[in-house]
């Protein structure tokens, strides 16, 4: 029998450039905040799952599972590092959820962290490039901006999507980030700002792209019995789904869609017995503006090819029927790759608890969508106020 699982505590550092803090410091801060928010002690925790992508290349530190347990003073608990490129945090959350749902544990911490700004941009790009196909993409110089530029060009060709519509994705994110004190770039921008920003990989410009970010986030998950005993406002994980697609773009069924997103999104809604109209807050993986457009299409919140138009018309603005990336998304809140999937869960939890401050929306159910690479790994979760 599958058990119900709740989030009972959240913690997150400010996202940004933390020259004065190490990876260990970020892990300690987010983990301590989550445990304190849950009102528990270390003796209640039974296991840890931590997502990080490139600590070895970026910080010279492998063996991250052991580092997390040691840093948080949680030895000798089992602590497992999860790597799924930019979906590392989301998969860590899923693994923690499955271990409680399956009856193995009652309380588990799921977290994610990445320290990305201690190296030159070129070194960070090389590390991130490990999430692409090394033989068929990276070897030929295809960076992630270049790969997503290919997606953008094809989407523009097939559906008439415009650069201004892509710019609107960034505008929405920055508007929301301006209301989030933990965001890396908490200020609004305009479509004109995006259009005038420096070209990175045409048609993508600087303000179409998520930044390099330092940060960490953590959540405490608990079984139903423990959650109801310890937490007055648990947020229930209604479903979890994960899917895979080909690593290189050239083997995909479509370049304008991520089949793993389509499948994981469909499974997540079906398992939770929810409809699209039930979801009021949605965190999507917008590493680039075109990724936000493709995400809302793949997840079924618009028809294929109509995502750009929907952003342009304000369909996903804060306070709309489906508020997108209330945190500021990857674009403006920041994208410490291993932490992003957990940050998304933190944001939806705060929204459902009514603790999101100036960016608060009215929501009973939420969804998170976390992507690894250009879509080879996708994990989707749904959440609700009630069990």
Region 85-102: mean pLDDT is 98
* pLDDT score for 126: 86
Region 354-365: mean pLDDT is 97
pLDDT band at 1 (very low <50, low <70, confident <90, very high): confident
pLDDT at 88 over 90: yes
pLDDT at 382 over 80: yes
Per residue in 50-70, pLDDT (tens digit) is 999 999 999 999 999 999 999
> For the whole prediction, is pTM greater than 0.95?
yes
Region 76-83: mean pLDDT is 98
DSSP string, 248-286: SGGGSS-SS--HHHHHHHHHHHHHHT--GGGEEEEE---
* pLDDT score for 191: 98
* Residue spans per domain, the chain: 5-120+213-235, 130-211+238-382
* pLDDT score for 197: 98
CA dihedral 121, 123, 124, 127 (to 10 degrees): 160
Quick one: what percent of the chain has pLDDT higher than 70?
100
pLDDT at 299 over 80: yes
Cis bond upstream, residue 377 (ω within 30): no
- Please answer whether residues 76 and 363 qualify as being in contact, where contact means their C-beta atoms are separated by less than 8 angstroms: no
pLDDT band at 343 (very low <50, low <70, confident <90, very high): very high
Quick one: what percent of the chain has pLDDT higher than 90?
95
* pLDDT score for 358: 97
pLDDT at 122 over 90: no
Region 330-348: mean pLDDT is 98
CA geometry: angle at 310 spanning 306 and 316, to 5°?
140
* pLDDT score for 300: 98
Per residue in 242-285, pLDDT (tens digit) is 999 999 999 999 999 999 999 999 999 999 999 999 999 999 99
Give whole-number Cα distances, 103 to 62, 107, 204, in Å.
30, 10, 46
- What CA–CA distance (Å, rounded) separates 170 from 190? 8
pLDDT at 44 over 90: yes
Per residue in 4-20, pLDDT (tens digit) is 999 999 999 999 999 99
Region 327-334: mean pLDDT is 98
- What CA–CA distance (Å, rounded) separates 268 from 116? 31
Among the four given CATH numbers 3.40.109.10, 3.40.50.300, 3.40.47.10, 3.40.50.1980, the one describing domain 130-211+238-382: 3.40.47.10
Region 299-316: mean pLDDT is 98
- What CA–CA distance (Å, rounded) separates 161 from 176? 23
Per residue in 209-224, pLDDT (tens digit) is 999 999 999 999 999 9
* pLDDT score for 253: 93
- Please answer whether residues 231 and 6 qualify as being in contact, where contact means their C-beta atoms are separated by less than 8 angstroms: yes
Region 226-249: mean pLDDT is 95
pLDDT band at 351 (very low <50, low <70, confident <90, very high): very high
Q: Does domain 5-120+213-235 have CATH number 3.40.250.10?
A: no
**Cα atoms found within 13 Å of the Cα of residue 263, Cβ hemisphere only:** 11
Structure tokens at 360: 């608060």
CB-based contacts of 209: which residues, under 8 Å, 6+ apart? 145, 200, 287, 288, 289, 331
State the catalytic residues.
Answer: 86, 335
- Please answer whether residues 14 and 30 qualify as being in contact, where contact means their C-beta atoms are separated by less than 8 angstroms: no
Mean pLDDT for all residues in the chain: 97
pLDDT at 175 over 80: yes
């Amino acid at each position: 029998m599958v058990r119900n699982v709740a989030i009972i505590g959240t913690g997150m550092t400010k996202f940004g450039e933390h020259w004065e803090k190490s990876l260990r410091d970020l892990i300690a801060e987010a983990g301590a905040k989550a445990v304190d928010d849950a009102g528990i002690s270390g003796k209640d925790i039974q296991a840890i799952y931590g997502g990080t992508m490139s600590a070895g290349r970026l910080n010279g530190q492998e063996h991250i599972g052991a580092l997390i347990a040691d840093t948080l003073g949680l030895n000798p608990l089992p602590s497992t590092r999860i790597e799924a490129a930019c979906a590392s945090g989301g998969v860590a959350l899923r693994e923690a959820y499955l271990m409680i749902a399956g009856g193995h544990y009652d309380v588990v911490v799921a977290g994610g962290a990445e320290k990305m700004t201690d190296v030159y941009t070129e070194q960070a790009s090389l590390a991130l490039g490990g999430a692409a196909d090394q033989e068929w993409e990276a070897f030929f110089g295809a960076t992630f901006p270049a790969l997503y530029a290919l997606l953008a060009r094809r989407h523009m060709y097939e559906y008439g999507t415009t650069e201004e519509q892509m710019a609107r994705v960034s505008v929405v994110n920055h508007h929301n980030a301006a209301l989030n004190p933990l965001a890396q770039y908490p200020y609004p921008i305009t479509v004109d700002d995006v259009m005038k920003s420096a070209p990175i990989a045409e048609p993508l410009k600087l303000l179409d792209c998520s930044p390099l970010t330092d940060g960490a986030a953590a959540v405490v998950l608990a079984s139903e019995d423990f959650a109801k005993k310890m937490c007055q406002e648990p947020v229930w994980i209604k479903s979890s789904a994960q899917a895979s697609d080909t690593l290189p773009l050239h083997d995909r069924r479509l370049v304008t869609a991520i089949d793993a997103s389509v499948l994981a999104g469909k499974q997540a809604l079906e398992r939770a017995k929810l409809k699209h109209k039930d979801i009021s807050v949605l965190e999507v993986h917008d590493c680039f503006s075109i990724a936000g457009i493709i995400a809302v299409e793949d997840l079924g919140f618009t028809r294929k090819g109509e995502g750009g138009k929907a952003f342009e018309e304000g369909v996903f603005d804060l306070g709309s029927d489906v508020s997108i990336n209330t945190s500021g998304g990857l674009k403006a809140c920041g994208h410490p790759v291993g932490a992003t999937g957990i940050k998304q869960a933190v944001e939806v939890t705060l929204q459902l608890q009514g603790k999101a401050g100036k960016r608060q929306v009215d929501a009973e159910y939420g969804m998170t969508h976390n992507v690894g690479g250009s879509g080879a790994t996708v994990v989707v979760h749904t959440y609700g106020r009630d069990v």
